[in-house]
Amino acid sequence: MTTDEKRGWAFRALHQREGAFVIPNPWDVGSARLLAGMGFEALATTSAGYAFSTGKRDSKVGREAMIAHVAAIANATDLPVSADLENGFGDAPEHVAETIRLAAAAGASGGSIEDATGRSSDPIYEEGLAIERIRAAVEAVRGLPTRFTLTARCENYLHDKPDLANTIHRLQAYQEAGADVLYAPGLTSREEIATLVKSVDRPVNVLVGFKGIEVNLADASAMGVRRLSVGSALARAAYGALLGAAKEIQKRGTFAFGEDAVSFSEISAKFPAQ
């Protein structure tokens, strides 16, 4: 069995056991290796975190660069990696299918497809097209030589459409289209999350690490959630520390931030010598 095959099966197995697991989101090779060294069992890329690291806003990184980033994260450790593939980098179902194939070829063990268009005037795809896009992704997955876990995302709550009934309806349709995992980023309350989990029969991913979220790992496991991800939160936490340190320098002319920084020897020891 190849390394990609082993990782693909291992990633699938994480979703089938009891309780929820946390899949943290590194934004570069260094953060991926640090998280792997801490004992996490899988990693997920973050489109926003990676975009920030290149000096761009989220969704402003093209497919070629994103697939290269996925390959870099997949090659950084032995862990399975789920790729944040945004909306598949194109409206047409065939664009989505090709993106899935490219992500798998880059070493991803899974990936997510959003139903967000990227257009502020019409932010969510019409339901019929959204379903066709997931079907195309599923067909692409079925043609792969390795196991690939497909996550279908409903983006209503991230685009000022906090309609739980419609969100569940869409995720149920994506489930019927063949998605392996379902995900509605932006849900915050225990009641909403529990209702979603009870309304579908696929593993559910919940986004945590931002203000307003009411669940922790124990809560999520009790509700039947299978996966927790943090999206861009780790990257934003790191950049928040950088900005805080820079503001101290600018406003106070002091450098106390260095007292809280990880030591040079400690961080160096976490990376390979060669």
pLDDT tens string 238-253: 999 999 999 999 999 9
> What gap in Å lies between CA 84 and CA 88, rounded to an integer?
9
The per-residue pLDDT for 83 is: 99
> What gap in Å lies between CA 246 and CA 180, rounded to an integer?
43
Tell me the domains of the chain and their CATH numbers.
Answer: 3-232 (3.20.20.60)
pLDDT greater than 80 at residue 48: yes
How deeply is 121 buried, as exposed, middle or buried, from its count of CB atoms within 10 A (0-12, 13-18, 19+)?
exposed
The per-residue pLDDT for 273 is: 86
Rounded to the nearest integer, the mean pLDDT of the chain is 97
pLDDT greater than 90 at residue 33: yes
Rounded percentage of the chain residues whose pLDDT exceeds 70: 100
Report residue 234 as tokens.
Answer: 């780790």
The per-residue pLDDT for 3 is: 94
Which residue has tokens 């309609």?
Answer: 163
For range 52-56, the mean pLDDT:
98
pLDDT greater than 90 at residue 274: no
The per-residue pLDDT for 28 is: 98
Are 204 and 225 in contact, with CB atoms under 8 Å apart?
A: yes
* One-letter identity of residue 217: L
Report residue 134 as tokens.
Answer: 């997931």
The model's pLDDT over 137-185, given as tens digits with 9 standing for 90+, comes to 999 999 999 999 999 999 999 999 999 999 999 999 999 999 999 999 9
- Sorted by sequence, the CB contacts under 8 Å of residue 37 that are 6+ apart come out as 270
The per-residue pLDDT for 27 is: 98
The per-residue pLDDT for 16 is: 97
> What gap in Å lies between CA 267 and CA 270, rounded to an integer?
5
Report residue 75 as tokens.
Answer: 């090659």
For range 56-79, the mean pLDDT:
98
Residue 77 φ then ψ, to 5°? -140, 180
